[in-house]
Structure 1
Amino acid sequence: MKPVIVIGAGGHAAVIADALQAAGVNVLGFTDADPAKHQSKQCDLPVLGSDATVLAGSDRNDVLLANGVGGVKGTDVRRALQQRLQEEGWRFATVIHPTAIVSRHARIGNGAQLLAGSIVQALAAIGEGAIVNTAAVVEHDADVGDYVHVAPRALLCGAVTVGNYSHIGAGAVVRQGIRLGERTLVGAGAVVVKDFDGGGELVGMPARSSAEGIA
C-alpha cells in the first residue's frame, strides 16, 4: 500500500494509525484543524498541520488518506469529510487490522475500517467508509450500509441489514434477519428483535424506540 496520511488527530485517528502500522503500512502522520496540535506527536507520529496545508503539499498519486474522524458525534461529519476529499481526487485506504478475521467471500467497501479483533463472515457486505470497531462481529449475509459505525463488541447476526449512516452501540445485539433503516441509532447494550424504519433511537432489552419510552 502507498504511504498514508490520517485525517484528524483524535482518539479514533490514533487507532487507525496503529492498525495501519500493524499491517505494515507507512503512516506519514496526522492532520488536524487545531493549531495547538501541530508539531506534536501521537503514536510516535507527527501532527503535520491542517488538512489544507498538508494536502496542498502532497501528491494524490503518491499518497492515500485514512479517515480519522470517529463516530461519537454521528456519521455526518465523517461522511462529509471523506466524500469532499474524494470529490477532490483523493483516495482513501481501506483499513484492516491484521487481527481482524475477514472472509474472502465478504465484500468490503472503499475506505471501510475493520479494527482489532473484528470478524466479518462470508457473504457479508460492508459499505463505503463504514467502521467495524474492536471485537465487533458481522455475521454471514449481513449488509452494513455506507458510513455505518458498528461499535466495539456489537453483534450483527446473520442476514441483518443496517441502513446507511446508522450507529450500532457498543455491546448491542441485532437478531438474525432484522432490517434497520437509514440513520438508526442503537443504544449501547440494546437487543434488537424487531425491524425498525430508521431515523430514531432504539434502546433497551428488547429494544424499542426511545420515543415510546421504556417500561
Structure 2
Amino acid sequence: MAEQVKLFGVWASPFTRRIEIALKLKGVEYEFVEEDLVNKSDLLVKYNPIHKKVPVLLHNGNPICESVVIMEYIDETWKGAPILPRDPYERAMARFWAKFIDDKCVPAIWKACWSNDEEQENAIEEACELLKTLEAQLKGNKFFGGQTIGFVDIAANTIGFWLGILLEIVELELLTEEKFPKLCKWIDDYVNCSVIKENLPPRDKLLAYFRARQQPPTGSKD
C-alpha cells in the first residue's frame, strides 16, 4: 500500500514552506492542499481542532500539527538528508534556536514592521538585539546547520526570505549588510541553495499578496 502524504497549507505562509522544504530534502512525494484561512475547510478544522491553523501534515491518515513538530516528525520518519543533528546535545540546541526564532525573533520583527511611530523605535531596537543574538549562532559557518541546510536554517526561513519583502513594503531599514554582515551572507547562501530556491514562492507574487493586505500574515503561524 502506497504512503499517503498530504500537506494542508497556504502558499504564502513561511510556516507551510518549512514543511515543503523538509519533505523535498527527504525526497518525499506529497499532495498539497491549499487552504483559505478566511474560509477554513472542514478537513483543516478536523485535523487541527485545537489551533485550526496551517500547516497540517497528514501521513497515512494521521494528522501532525505545528511546523517545528512536523519537521521533527519528517526527520524521524523518512531516511535521507538529516534535518536535525544526530548528536543529542546539538539536537537540543537546534530545537532551542528554532524556538528562539519563533517565540522571540518573529514576533519582534512583526512588531517592528507593523507598530505605530511611538512604539516602532523600541520595537526596532528589540528586533535588532535579537537578530544580533541569532547572527552570533552562525559562528563562521555557511549555515546554522554547518555547511549544509539544517533544522535552524529551515526554521529561520521567515528571516531568510519573507522579512526582506515585509521591509520593502513598510519601507524600513532593519536588516542591513552593515549591521548584520553574517546574517545577510547567510540569507544570500540560503535563498540560492537549490532545494530552498525551488520551494520559495515567487517574490513578485508574494510582494503583491502582502501589499494588497498591508498587514502581517495572520492565521498562518504555528
Q: TM-score scaled to structure 1, two decimals?
A: 0.31
Higher-strand-fraction structure: 1
Higher-helix-fraction structure: 2
